[in-house]
């Protein structure tokens, strides 16, 4: 029996449809994990309320956010939540909460360790998936700056300085430092030992935004060890490795001090050099050789007299002080690294999972001539127009909900929550090195999917997905 091509096509389509129909529970068809389809997690099915979004998102904070907004993009949805880890629920009418769930939003009762769980409901629709997240004190310790260095050494005092630390949450201005001294490094080489020091050996207790201190009342020709502990606002602490310095003999000129101290800078530095001994002559070099005073101790036989010293490129600054009738000071030395090169951006911004209310943003790791990859920091922002965030100044000015996260080290992805379906968002990233130099990743745009859109799902072993509507078309060759 022979059939025409149109009739063959019709029978083939009917056969495929019936095969698919009876292969599902209820109706539709399954797509199991054996298929080669590459798919992200599914979005909210049709006729189901969109799951709530937390702003700011769950994570590590200090302090814990005073207010968290919980919302669903489904119009008029009822939000029910708990803060103790219990599963929230709505009542039968789906207009009120049940089972001890709360509905006062924004949430203002979170404490360290709170587990916020929320569900969204609406009459005539399936309840949303439950959104869950923990709000905890951050546990990342600060990153110490350049090591402890010394200047202003006399027979009874030593000036200690160190590079400012950095932290993933606490600003540099709010980091606090404790500095202590001892006659051996073993006595102060742990955070606990530094915190236990008191009395005359406690040079300075925790004080914000300070990176130098003078320690007085010392004994001539004695070696002292100094240690610094830095603490962030959450109480996390890091220790700078102890360093030692010997006081000079009695009648010796106080050794020079540098301001600003040696370290990493993004611009040329004008360094003021001083001695605690009044009327002392300062001699310095930036070539690596040691300076020296002349026979009269009123000028320099090697190096430049006076202050300040101009450091336009990376150099080691060495200085000494002298005065007639006194023994010359010991030499003070410090490395000034002048880094004016901006980081090199990595791969351009791209996108991972896209739903009706969130987008995963990715980018390649940057590289720098001085700062290690792990210490480069990134700022991720969003806007409705790429022209709003296509300069570094514009990205740095973004705040509020459009700031996805501020400068954070060693991260190359972020999730933008609380978005609106079928809306185009632009994303930009700025990378910053330890000297403060910055580079912009060009903004890239991505549209969210429509509310209720079924996206290609990721399926585990033995899982199947039933699609409610599917068509096959075939053309048979004769």
| pLDDT, tens digit (0-9, with 9 covering 90-100), for 187-225 | 999 999 999 999 999 999 999 999 999 999 999 899 999
Out of 5-14, 23-32, 124-133, pick the least confident. 23-32
Question: H helices then E strands: how many in the chain?
Answer: 3, 34
> What residue spans define the domains of the chain?
5-39+457-467, 53-137, 141-250, 257-338, 350-447
Instruction: Determine the Cα–Cα distance for residues 287 and 313; give it in Å rounded to an integer.
Output: 11
Residue 471: pLDDT band by 50, 70, 90 thresholds?
very low
Phi, psi of 213 (to 5 degrees): -160, 150
**For residue 37, what pLDDT is reported?**
28
What is the DSSP code (8-state) at residue 8?
H
**For residue 44, what pLDDT is reported?**
59
- For residues 76 and 95, is the Cβ–Cβ distance under 8 A? no
Fold adopted by 350-447: Immunoglobulin-like (2.60.40)
The structural architecture, per CATH, of the domain 141-250 is Sandwich (2.60)
Out of 58-62, 101-105, 119-123, 458-462, pick the least confident. 458-462
Dump the DSSP string for 29-94.
Answer: EE--TTS--------PPTTBPPPPEEESPSEEESSPPS-BEEE-SSTTPEEEEESBSPPPEE-TTS
Instruction: Determine the Cα–Cα distance for residues 33 and 456; give it in Å rounded to an integer.
Output: 12
> Average pLDDT for residues 465-470, to the nearest whole number?
42
**For residue 9, what pLDDT is reported?**
44
- For residues 286 and 307, is the Cβ–Cβ distance under 8 A? no
Nearest to 215 by CA among 260, 183, 237, 187: 183
Residue 31: pLDDT band by 50, 70, 90 thresholds?
very low
Top-confidence residue, 261 or 451: 261
**For residue 157, what pLDDT is reported?**
92
| pLDDT, tens digit (0-9, with 9 covering 90-100), for 52-101 | 999 888 888 878 888 899 999 899 999 999 998 899 999 999 999 998 89
pLDDT higher than threshold 50 for residue 370 = yes
**For residue 458, what pLDDT is reported?**
43
Q: Judge if 141-250 and 350-447 fold alike in CATH terms.
A: yes
Q: Where does residue 220 rank: exposed (0-12), middle (13-18), buried (19+ CB within 10 A)?
A: middle
CA–CA distances in Å: residue 50 to residues 78, 123, 133: 11, 13, 17
| Average pLDDT over all residues of the chain | 85
Residue 401: pLDDT band by 50, 70, 90 thresholds?
confident
> Average pLDDT for residues 364-385, to the nearest whole number?
94
Fold adopted by 53-137: Immunoglobulin-like (2.60.40)
Nearest to 283 by CA among 334, 331, 337: 331
Dump the DSSP string for 126-195.
Answer: BPPPPEEEEEEE--PPPBP-SPPEEE---SS-EEEE-PPPB-SSS-GGG-EEEEEEESSGGGGSSHHHHH
Top-confidence residue, 229 or 35: 229
CA–CA distances in Å: residue 374 to residues 59, 142, 143, 336: 21, 14, 11, 22
Instruction: Determine the Cα–Cα distance for residues 327 and 324; give it in Å rounded to an integer.
Output: 8
**For residue 452, what pLDDT is reported?**
59
pLDDT higher than threshold 80 for residue 425 = yes
Q: Where does residue 450 rank: exposed (0-12), middle (13-18), buried (19+ CB within 10 A)?
A: exposed
């Amino acid at each position: 029996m022979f059939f025409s091509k149109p009739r063959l096509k019709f029978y083939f389509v009917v056969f495929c449809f019936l095969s698919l129909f009876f292969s599902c529970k209820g109706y539709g068809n399954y797509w199991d994990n054996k298929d080669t389809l590459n798919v992200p997690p599914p979005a909210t099915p049709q006729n189901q309320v969109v799951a709530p979004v937390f702003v700011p998102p769950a994570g590590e904070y200090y302090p814990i956010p005073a207010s968290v907004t919980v919302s669903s993009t489904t119009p008029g949805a009822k939000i029910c939540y708990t803060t103790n880890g219990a599963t929230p629920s709505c009542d039968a009418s789906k207009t009120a909460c049940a089972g001890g769930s709360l509905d006062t939003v924004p949430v203002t009762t979170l404490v360290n360790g709170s587990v916020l769980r929320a569900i969204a409901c609406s009459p005539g629709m399936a309840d949303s998936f439950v959104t869950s997240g923990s709000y905890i004190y951050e546990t990342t310790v600060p990153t110490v700056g350049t090591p402890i260095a010394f200047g202003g050494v006399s027979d009874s005092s030593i000036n200690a300085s160190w590079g400012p630390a950095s932290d993933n949450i606490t600003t540099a201005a709010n980091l606090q430092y404790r500095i202590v001294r001892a006659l051996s490094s073993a006595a102060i080489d742990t955070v606990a030992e530094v915190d236990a020091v008191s009395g005359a050996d406690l040079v300075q207790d925790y004080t914000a935004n300070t990176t130098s201190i003078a320690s007085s009342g010392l004994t001539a020709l004695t070696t002292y060890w100094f240690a610094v502990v830095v603490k962030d606002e959450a109480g996390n602490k890091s220790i700078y490795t102890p360093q030692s310095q010997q006081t000079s003999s009695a009648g010796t000129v106080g050794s020079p001090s540098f301001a600003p101290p040696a370290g990493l800078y993004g611009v040329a530095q004008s360094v003021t050099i001083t001695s605690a001994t009044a009327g002392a002559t300062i001699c310095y070099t930036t070539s690596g050789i040691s300076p020296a005073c002349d026979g009269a101790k009123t000028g320099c036989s090697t190096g430049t007299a006076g202050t300040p010293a101009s450091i336009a490129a990376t150099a080691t600054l060495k200085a000494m002080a002298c005065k007639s009738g006194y023994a010359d000071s010991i030499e003070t030395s410090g490395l000034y690294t002048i880094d004016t090169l901006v980081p090199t951006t990595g791969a351009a911004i791209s996108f991972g999972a896209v739903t009706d209310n969130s987008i995963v943003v990715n980018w390649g790791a940057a590289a720098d001539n001085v700062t290690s990859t792990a210490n480069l920091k990134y700022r991720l922002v969003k806007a409705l127009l790429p022209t709003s965030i296509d300069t570094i100044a514009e990205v740095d000015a973004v705040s509020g909900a459009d700031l996805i996260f501020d400068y954070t080290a060693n991260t190359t992805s972020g999730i933008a929550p609380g978005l609106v379906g079928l809306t185009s968002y632009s994303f930009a990233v700025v990378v910053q090195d330890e000297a403060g130099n910055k580079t912009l990743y060009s903004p890239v745009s991505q549209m969210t999917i429509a509310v209720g859109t079924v996206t290609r799902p990721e399926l585990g072993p033995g899982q199947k997905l039933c699609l409610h509507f599917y068509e096959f078309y075939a053309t048979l060759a004769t």
